[in-house]
Chains A and B, each alone.
Chain A
Amino acid sequence: MPTPVVVESGEIHEIHTDADVVRVRQAARTLALSAKLSLVDQTKLVTAASELARNTLVYGGGGRATVEVVRLGPRRGVRAVFVDEGPGIPDLDLALTDGWTSGSGMGLGLSGARRLVDEFEVSTDVGTGTTVSVVKWTR
Chain B
Amino acid sequence: MADAAVDKGWATLLRRNGDEVVARWSEAAAQSLEGRMTRAELERDVREMYDALVAGVGEGDRHTLADASFAELRALLADVSHTRARQGFSSTETAVGVFALKEAMLGVLEEHGDLATYRSFADFSRLIDELGLYMLEVYAQAREAVIGEQADALLELSTPVVKLWDGIISLPLVGTLDSARTQVVMEKLLQALVDTGSEHAIIDITGVPAVDTQVAQHLLKTVQAARLLGAECIISGIRPQIAQTVVALGIEFGDISTKASLSEALLAALRKQGTDVVRRTGRRDR
Contact = CB atoms under 8 A, between A and B. Distances in A.
Interface string B178-210: 001000000100000000000000000000000
Interface string A108-139: 00000000000000000000000000000001
Interface string A1-44: 00000000000000000000000000000000000000010000
Contacts of A74: 141, 145
A74 B145 CA distance: 9
A73 interface: yes
Nearest to B145: A74
User: Interface residue tally of chain A, by bracket?
Assistant: under 10
B92 to A, nearest CB: 21
5 contacts: A40-B187, A73-B141, A74-B141, A74-B145, A139-B180
Interface string B148-175: 0000000000000000000000000000
Contacts of A40: 187
A108 to B, nearest CB: 16
Interface in A65-95: 73-74
A24 to B, nearest CB: 25
Interface class of chain B by DSSP: helix
Contacts of B187: 40
A5 to B, nearest CB: 16
Most buried by B among A73, A74, A139: A74
A40 B141 CA distance: 24
A116 B141 CA distance: 26
A113 to B, nearest CB: 17
A73 B140 CA distance: 12
Nearest to B137: A73
A74 B140 CA distance: 11
Contacts of A73: 141
A130 B181 CA distance: 37
A73 B145 CA distance: 13
A139 B149 CA distance: 11
A73 B187 CA distance: 28
A2 to B, nearest CB: 14
B1 to A, nearest CB: 10
A136 to B, nearest CB: 14
B82 to A, nearest CB: 11
Contacts of A139: 180
A115 B187 CA distance: 18
Contacts of B180: 139
Interface in A46-69: none
A40 B180 CA distance: 13
Contacts of B141: 73-74
Nearest to B138: A74
A74 B141 CA distance: 7
Interface in B16-40: none
A6 B187 CA distance: 31
B181 to A, nearest CB: 12
A101 B141 CA distance: 44
A19 to B, nearest CB: 28
Interface in B115-162: 141, 145
A73 B141 CA distance: 9
A138 B187 CA distance: 16
A139 B141 CA distance: 13
Contacts of B145: 74
